[in-house]
Amino acid sequence: MDSSIVQNVLQGIFSAAFLASILRVATPILLPSLGALISDRAGVINIGLEGTMLIAAFTGVVFSAYARDWFAADIATTFGPWFGMLLGVLMGVLVALLLGFFHLKLKASLILSGIAINFLGQAATVVVMYELTGDRGTTQGGLKSMKMPFIQLPEFLSDIPVVSFFFKVFDNQSVMTWIAIIAVFVVWYFLYRTPIGIHLRAVGENPNAAASVGIRVQRIRYLALALSGVLAALGGVHLSMGYLTFFQNNMSSGRGYIALATPYLGGGNPIGTGFAAFIFAFFEALSIRIGTLDIPSMLPQMLPYIATIMALVIYALQSQLTVRVRTLRSAEGEMFDASFWKAIQQLSVLHMFMAMIAVLGIIVCLSMYSAPDGFKSLVQGWDESDVRVYGGVIGLISLGLILVNLPFMLKVERIGHKIWYSAATSIAALWLYLGLLLMLFLRTTALKEVSGIGGIILGLAFAAAFWVLMGGRYLLQNPRGTPAAA
Amino acid sequence: MTFKLSRQQLQLLTVGIIAALLLVGAISWKAYGLSADMSPREMRDAITATVDYQAILFVNLLIGFSTLLMIMQLRGDALRVLLTVGVALIFGYLMTMLFNLDASVVFSRGEFRVSLLSDAVPLTSINYGDELTVELNDPRAETPITEVTHHFTGTAGDVVSVLAFGAERRSKLNMQLTLLDNAGNVLQENLDADDAQKRTFRRYLQSDGDAVVEGFVLPATGFYTIIAKPEADTADVNAEFTLALLSDNAPPVTLAYGSDPVGGIFNKEKTDAPLTTATYKFSGGKGDMVTILAYAFRGETDLDLQVTLKDANGEVLAANNDASAEQVESYRPQLKSTQDAIIQNVILPADGIYTITARPEPLSSSAQLRETVRATNKAYDAFLFGPLSRLNRWVIWIRDALTLIMLGLAVAIVFRAEQFSLGSEGQLYFGALVSAIIGLYFGNVPKTILVPMALLSAATAGFLWGLLPGALKAYLGANELVSTLMLNTIATRFYEMVLTFQLKPPDAGYTSSEWIPNNGLLAPIIDVNGDQITIAVFILIALVLLAWVMIQRTPIGYEIRMIGANIKFANYGGVNTRRTIMLTMAISGAIAGLAGAHLAMGIHRKLILNISVGLAFEGVVVALLARNNPLVVPFTGLLYAYLRTGAQMMERDANISAEVVRIIQAVVILLITAEALVSLFQQRRMKQRDKLMSSQGDTPAPAEGGA
């Protein structure tokens, strides 16, 4: 193993093809994530997404296969996949409504009946699959399913310099991927710009208050569950008909559970949820891509989950901070310095993210310690003790970064009072991360020779600019902060 | 604490004791392999001959005691729990029936053979592709053969070639051939093959004297006659010659009297065009008495055949579905059961080509249904009684129940505080990992120190892994469901990573650690051929009691119950809800960690990948069935483990996927948690009671406890 393989992997990661594969992997996470988001915002989080996905994936396969027999050949080839998708979505809605019926009507525990739906989805698909195909593993032998169409972008786009990169990313993606991307914006519009969406969020915030102003809570919740069923079903259909043409036992493999977490990682809004889904997809695609490197594949698989926990923490800390700022605002009235607090809030997020990435660094360090064999191949001539030494260095640096950032997380006013110290810690951390990333990126481009110095300079520039944009400029204008904040 | 039983409690106790004793009796009866026709003395011998029979009795008594506890604790609800399981089982039965809808396929699937027997002289003696060698003018023979006549059956339009040639290269024979139709008209004659024909049939033709009828197109379907004889100049030569009948067409007949049986496989699985009907033809002469056998090849198939004999015009001459027992006797070894078919001693009415059709006997829908029910019953028999059918299965049941009860306890504790933590899975993985590592690395430390140390470490690991989401929930308000699901995956991946890269011996073929040395294992109290029940039983008893005491008799338990009832009220009442929630989740984690230790140190005795596949979710079902009551968890854990083991037996014995149990599981959860379902019934009952009371003018009966 030599560095040329590392080089190959790096080139693979910083490429349009990798981005395209992230899109592909993200689709079945993104769609149910949006479903989880809608149901969560209505206060009835749909735990049964996993089972819903399985049932929809299976239904899609079955009915698109039957469409061949039921319709004329030319109609079947055009509309067969859509017919399968439609029925898959219909089943998804039915399953979600079943959950709704048990929770809303029969007062069953939402979480436990969601778990039951997951059991049901996993088992019922196998039972019916066995009935139809005589096979318990896949439908490959018995049912000839169809594939959802792929979208080809107009060819001329590939000739335009910058657009050509995006052309490579988005060209020849499944229509389901486009549906997923569009769904992000549709869901955003629905939640924030339509009356029903606003009612839905009101119900989630406080059902009693919503009911008192005449919103029909039960009906909204049924609707939210049904919508989450639609989105989860679309994700399921993508699994079985997006790139494959068959159903496999338990093929959602936990994506329905990941989808429960992404809204939290994404800060509870559709756009953030979309990014969160892409983070999961990135790590999933990464763990496939670095397969050639012998790095334990569990490590990249583990990271998004840890990131989610971190995001939960950040989310919680931020909402606590928001409450505090609100209290301060009402207490101080005229004296309240809004721009100062806005800057503080934004910069505290930066500190938290820096600490969060450092925690990931500690995980990497632990992995290097517990599985040194896997990392040996990373650099030519490394042996186990080298891996452990470098792991230790990474761990120490990460620990240091956490420690210097921690005071600003625990007491956010410190950001305003010790601007330069705060700026130094966050910029240093950001510089380190960005610099490393840029170095790796530059190694894959023509600027390979100057990748080291280029990474350092560009990293510093980006980090400083980012700090200024995140709120540093307010603090620079008003270095002390308001006296009342102390 | 005074202990006074009310009349109602006394009744319950009686019912409970009777139920418990019946259960203990039934399980012991099966476990010791007793049967009703044994004398008491034989029974005693059978019991004492069983390995570790005292320990088995002890465990069975514990099962009985858990039943008693369940009845005493749940009271009226016990009925509901059992009813729910019953309903779910019926649902599962219907599901299994769905699996078995095609059970009757066994009667139409399998390999078969058809034989044609007759003592009559076959009407035809040569078939397409045959080569018959005959010695002419053998001086040793009583009646030397001077010419050869053969009959064959042909279909109109078939292109046939007839060759007669000396068997040896330098044969002096000079042959001639005549082809005649059934009426005796000469169709073609040949004396000698020309050069072109010799080239065409280079493989066969040897010398100038050979004769050939090449590429003759048969004018009609029927019988043809070939006469081959030496030409006059070599009429007396003693030599061998060969007569060959060649055609590229499919032979019109595929069977001949006494020929080798023909056959195939009906409805073979995973074929695009499975064979459903097999047709064979033979040439029969008028007055021939034939017997046709159609039978399953290889005795163990259930294939049920029928056979039909038709004449050339398609008229059915004879048909048969099932052979009689005598026929089976007399036609052994071909016929093996009465499901085979036979057409015995039919006299053919005319010369001609006859058709034999063999196919699986079609089943009536009632017969199909009967078969489906029969197969379902067989599967459910394995499901419901499988775990008791052999002692090692009983051990597997109890062993799995121990893990499930621990997990059920862990879940019950957090659910009691209305915290929907599903983190047991991750805590279990850490518990297993830590206990196994301690067992593996400190193998020479005495058992009395090592085992408690490993258990304690596993509990600590689980405690810490539970403390984390607890703290996140309590102090940051992070959704415990999401955080525990995330932590589960992290724990699983971490476990896999350590196992694959640290614990797996480099030369191991598959991913698992080395065996944990004996000092690091829980000591067995029952050992049936390597399947062990360990001292985890005692650990479990202690855990159940501790959990009960903690919840019912300690301040923290009181706080847990208060938080579960109404967290805001608990908060106003001065409960440190944050600390309590955190502790609850951590304590639950400790128990789940012990469950992991039991998996590593008691069941697998090493670490394997996928040491738990969603076991924690099954712990949720156990806790739910027990209504989160630690004293009831042992019974529901046993019940649930019984169903799980039964499902495995069903999968093994009846080829029904264990998936059915997952469906049962789902139905149980939905029905148990559907609170309104009960009140629906209760409302109706109350209405009825009201009606009764108002009509009788009776005083209202005291409200029932529990529910």
- For A429-459, b/e burial (b = at least 16 CB within 10 A) is bbbbbbbeebbebbbbeeeeeebeebbbebb
At B538, the pLDDT band (50, 70, 90 cuts) reads: very high
- Mind listing the pLDDT tens digit for each residue in B108-151? 778 888 888 888 777 777 888 788 888 877 777 777 777 888 88
In the structure encoding, which two tokens stand for residue B334, read together? 């071909």
Using an 8 Å CB-CB cutoff, list chain B residues near A127: 95, 98-99, 657, 659-660, 663
Q: Is residue B604 part of a domain?
A: yes
Regarding whether B173 and B192 lie in a shared domain, the answer is yes
The separation between the first and the last C-alpha atoms of chain A, rounded to the nearest angstrom, is 57
Q: Do B657 and A126 touch (CB under 8 A)?
A: yes
Higher pLDDT residue, B541 or A249? B541
Regarding whether B536 and B404 lie in a shared domain, the answer is yes
Query: H/E element holding B669?
Result: helix B659-673
Q: Is residue B39 part of a domain?
A: yes
Q: Does B269 touch chain A (CB under 8 A)?
A: yes
Q: Is residue B113 part of a domain?
A: yes
Beta bridge mates, B224: B152, B181
- For A79-118, b/e burial (b = at least 16 CB within 10 A) is bbbbbbbbbbbbbbbbbbebbbbbbbebebbbbbbbbbbb
Q: What does the alpha-carbon distance between residue A197 and residue A189 come to, in Å, rounded to a whole number?
A: 8
Q: State residue B229's pLDDT score.
A: 80
* Residues B485 and B409: beta-carbon distance below 8 Å: no
CA distance B483 to chain A (A): 6
Compare CB distances from A108 to B101, B420, B670 and report the shortest one's residue: B670
Regarding whether B306 and B418 lie in a shared domain, the answer is no
**Chain A nearest-CA residue for B96:** A127
Compute, in degrees rounded to 10, the torsion defined by CA atoms A92, A93, A98, A104. 130
Q: Does B508 touch chain A (CB under 8 A)?
A: no
- Mind listing the pLDDT tens digit for each residue in A266-290? 778 899 899 889 888 888 887 777 6
Q: Do A108 and B673 touch (CB under 8 A)?
A: yes
* Residues B669 and B621: beta-carbon distance below 8 Å: yes
Q: Do B501 and A370 touch (CB under 8 A)?
A: yes
Q: Is residue B260 part of a domain?
A: yes
Domain C-terminal end among B362, B390, B419:
B362
Q: How many CB pairs under 8 A join A and B?
A: 154
Q: What does the alpha-carbon distance between residue B67 and residue B57 come to, in Å, rounded to a whole number?
A: 15
B608: three-class secondary structure by DSSP: strand
Q: What does the alpha-carbon distance between residue B605 and residue B396 come to, in Å, rounded to a whole number?
A: 14
Regarding whether B667 and B601 lie in a shared domain, the answer is yes
Mean pLDDT of chain A: 84
Mean pLDDT of B307-331: 83
At A479, the pLDDT band (50, 70, 90 cuts) reads: low
Which residues have CB under 8 Å from B671's CB, separation 6+? B84, B87, B88, B677
Does A295 score more than 80 pLDDT?
no
Q: How many domains does chain B have?
A: 3
Compare CB distances from A106 to B420, B497, B677 and report the shortest one's residue: B677
Regarding whether B329 and B262 lie in a shared domain, the answer is yes
Q: Do B500 and A298 touch (CB under 8 A)?
A: yes
Mean pLDDT of A29-56: 94
Regarding whether B482 and B355 lie in a shared domain, the answer is no
Instruction: For each of the domains in chain A, give its residue range(s) and CATH number, in order of start.
Output: 3-293 (1.10.3470), 300-485 (no CATH)
Q: Do A312 and B482 touch (CB under 8 A)?
A: yes
Using an 8 Å CB-CB cutoff, list chain A residues near B657: 126-127, 130, 136
Q: Is residue B511 part of a domain?
A: yes
Domain C-terminal end among B247, B274, B308:
B247
Regarding whether B273 and B155 lie in a shared domain, the answer is no
Mean pLDDT of chain B: 83
At B175, the pLDDT band (50, 70, 90 cuts) reads: confident
* Interior angle at CA A99, CA A96 and CA A105, nearest 5: 125
pLDDT above 90 covers what percent of chain B?
15
Q: Do B489 and A254 touch (CB under 8 A)?
A: yes
Domain C-terminal end among B195, B220, B247:
B247
> How many Cα neighbours within 13 Å face the side chain of B681?
7
Compare CB distances from A370 to B486, B497, B663 and report the shortest one's residue: B497
Q: Do B500 and A106 touch (CB under 8 A)?
A: no
The 3-class SS string of B2-66 reads CCCCCHHHHHHHHHHHHHHHHHHHHHHHHHCCCCCCCCHHHHHHHHHHCCCHHHHHHHHHHHHHH
Using an 8 Å CB-CB cutoff, list chain A residues near B422: 115
Mean pLDDT of B78-103: 82
Using an 8 Å CB-CB cutoff, list chain A residues near B486: 261, 305-306, 308-309, 312
8-state DSSP, B552: H
CA distance A450 to chain B (A): 36
Q: Do A298 and B269 touch (CB under 8 A)?
A: no
Residues 469-498 of B with CB under 8 A from A: 472, 476-479, 481-483, 485-487, 489-490, 493-494, 496-498
Regarding whether B22 and B160 lie in a shared domain, the answer is no
Q: Does B91 touch chain A (CB under 8 A)?
A: no
Q: What interface predicted TM-score (ipTM) does this complex get?
A: 0.84
Using an 8 Å CB-CB cutoff, list chain B residues near A130: 99, 657
Regarding whether B150 and B92 lie in a shared domain, the answer is no
* Residues A88 and A60: beta-carbon distance below 8 Å: yes
Q: State residue A334's pLDDT score.
A: 76
Q: Is residue B114 part of a domain?
A: yes
* Residue whose entry in the numeric block shows the structure tokens 């469901």: B481
Nearest to B244 by CA among B224, B228, B221: B228
Q: State residue A291's pLDDT score.
A: 65
Q: Do B478 and A316 touch (CB under 8 A)?
A: yes
Compare CB distances from A309 to B486, B497, B502 and report the shortest one's residue: B486
CA distance A45 to chain B (A): 11
Q: What does the alpha-carbon distance between residue B307 and residue B409 come to, in Å, rounded to a whole number?
A: 63
Regarding whether B508 and B469 lie in a shared domain, the answer is yes
Q: Residue B301: which domain range?
A: 109-119+255-362
Compare CB distances from A116 to B472, B483, B670 and report the shortest one's residue: B670
What CATH number does the domain containing B296 carry? 2.60.120
Whether omega before B251 lies within 30 degrees of 0, making that bond cis, reads no
8-state DSSP, B705: S
Q: Do B493 and A317 touch (CB under 8 A)?
A: no
Using an 8 Å CB-CB cutoff, list chain B residues near A313: 472, 476, 478
**Chain A nearest-CA residue for B103:** A131
Report how many helices (DSSP H) and strands (DSSP E) chain A contains, helices first. 20, 2
Q: Do A371 and B501 touch (CB under 8 A)?
A: yes
Q: What does the alpha-carbon distance between residue B185 and residue B634 come to, in Å, rounded to a whole number?
A: 94
Regarding whether B343 and B273 lie in a shared domain, the answer is yes
Q: What does the alpha-carbon distance between residue B539 and residue B429 come to, in Å, rounded to a whole number?
A: 19
Q: What does the alpha-carbon distance between residue A247 and residue A240 come to, in Å, rounded to a whole number?
A: 5
Q: Do A123 and B99 touch (CB under 8 A)?
A: no
CA distance B583 to chain A (A): 19
Interface test with B, best of A39, A115, A273 (most B CBs within 10 A): A115
Compare CB distances from B476 to A106, A316, A374 and report the shortest one's residue: A316
Q: What does the alpha-carbon distance between residue A252 and residue A33 come to, in Å, rounded to a whole number?
A: 13
In the structure encoding, which two tokens stand for residue B553, read together? 């008799």
> How many Cα neighbours within 13 Å face the side chain of A421?
13
- Mind listing the pLDDT tens digit for each residue in B37-71? 888 888 888 888 887 788 888 888 899 999 888 88
What's the burial of A184, exposed, middle or buried (CB within 10 Å: 0-12/13-18/19+)?
buried
* Residues B227 and B126: beta-carbon distance below 8 Å: no
Q: What does the alpha-carbon distance between residue A122 and residue A256 come to, in Å, rounded to a whole number?
A: 12
pLDDT above 70 covers what percent of chain B?
95
Regarding whether B502 and B601 lie in a shared domain, the answer is yes
What CATH number does the domain containing B206 carry? 2.60.120.380
**Chain B nearest-CA residue for A36:** B482
Amino acid symbol at A358: A
Q: Is residue B693 part of a domain?
A: no
Does A485 score more than 80 pLDDT?
no
